[in-house]
Amino acid sequence: MPNKLHIVNGDAFGDKLRASGIDGDILVWRESLYEGPIGMQMSDSVLLTIRAVYMNRQHGIPQEMFNSTTLEQEKALDKLAEDVDVIVLWFEHDLYDQLMLCYLLSRLLALPDRSYKVSLLSINQFPGVELFHGLGQLDVIQIKQLHDKWLPVNEGQLLLAYKVWTAYSASEPHLMATLLEEDLSALPFLKKALEANSERYPSMQNGLNTIQQLILELIGDGEVPVLSLFQKVSNAASHYGFGDLQFWAIVDSIRKCDVPLVRLTGGDKLPSYGEPLPAQFDNWQLQKTEMGKLVQAGDQDHLYLNGMDDWIGGVHLFGKKGLWRRNAATTGFLKM
């Protein structure tokens, strides 16, 4: 029997896949390529240091642990040709997974010896699951039904993934905007995912990205429990695929700023990496400030008020003015 390796996103699904009895070893990919500075080679020492600092600042992930985990994964990829005959990638339809998939496919394309076969299982639904967020929802019996349902990855898909990762790693967004006008059907969930990536840029209208705007809209005129809001945003924007840590960071981007747009009651610090939910977290609430109402309506601009310091792929958005913004009318980008 050929040596088989399954590459998956997340330990929870990795454990279920292991319990299902499907043959092969499992490599869990733990790097959130959705966040922070990105490059063509993620093990680059300079980039890795910057990313480790970013992840520590953003989520409290220990820098040493982040570095060692990333390097361990990258070394595992470099050794694939020595160890395996078949690689199966298990990745969902959302932006979080599609970016990870494109990186892995681009890395596989660049490896010198590709004697192994590469297959892909990528789905956006499963029979009986009404609102499909991802593979982690499935139980062991359901996972067994996916055995051998993966399809061979062809050269065109590898080349498309490399093209996507090149555009995502660029220091300005025009390559990605151009890519969105091309035929991306070789990876069927890619177009919607990359459209969601464009929505991560601040808008021309008020400086908010799509998720920040959605948060303000869902809060409405009263108070909303933080956990309830996370669930509502996750359901409304399931094609993003972010988890709780990413959501807390998005909330803090409009809360812990010079002129807050939202106010937290019940506590003052949202959970960081490895921390349990605080006591009485069910009772923590978010409400809009008066400035939040003005920004939501487009009467004030979040970036002019608060600025930002964040990354979308290789694009560093820093400061209050002269930042790349999303033009909703043309799906292009401009600086303002």
Instruction: Write the pLDDT tens digit of every residue in 64-102.
Output: 999 999 999 999 888 887 778 999 999 999 999 999 999
Residue 30 has pLDDT above 90, yes or no: no
Give the C-alpha separation, 177 to 332, whole Å. Answer: 6
Q: Each residue of 30-58: b (16+ CB within 10 Å) or e?
A: ebbbbbbbbbbebbeeebbebbbebbbeb
For 203, which DSSP code? B
Domain 4-197's class? alpha beta
- Predicted confidence band of residue 41 (pLDDT cuts 50, 70, 90): confident
Q: Which residues contact 279 (CB under 8 A, 6 or more apart)?
A: none
Domain ranges of the chain: 4-197, 202-335
What are the CB-based long-range contacts (under 8 Å, 24+) for 132-135? Answer: 132/238, 133/92, 133/94, 133/234, 133/238, 133/241, 134/13, 134/92, 134/94, 134/97, 134/241, 135/8, 135/9, 135/13, 135/90, 135/92
144-184 residue pLDDT tens? 999 989 999 999 999 999 999 999 999 999 999 999 999 99
Chain-centroid distance of CA 87 in Å reads 23
In this predicted structure, what is the pLDDT of residue 2? 67
Tens-digit pLDDT profile for residues 233-290: 999 999 999 999 999 999 999 999 999 999 999 999 999 999 999 999 999 999 999 9
| CB atoms inside a 10 Å sphere around CB 112 | 6
pLDDT at 289: 98
**pTM for the predicted model, two decimal places:** 0.94
- Look over the chain and give the mean of its residue pLDDT values, rounded to a whole number: 94
- Residues 121-139 have a mean pLDDT of 91
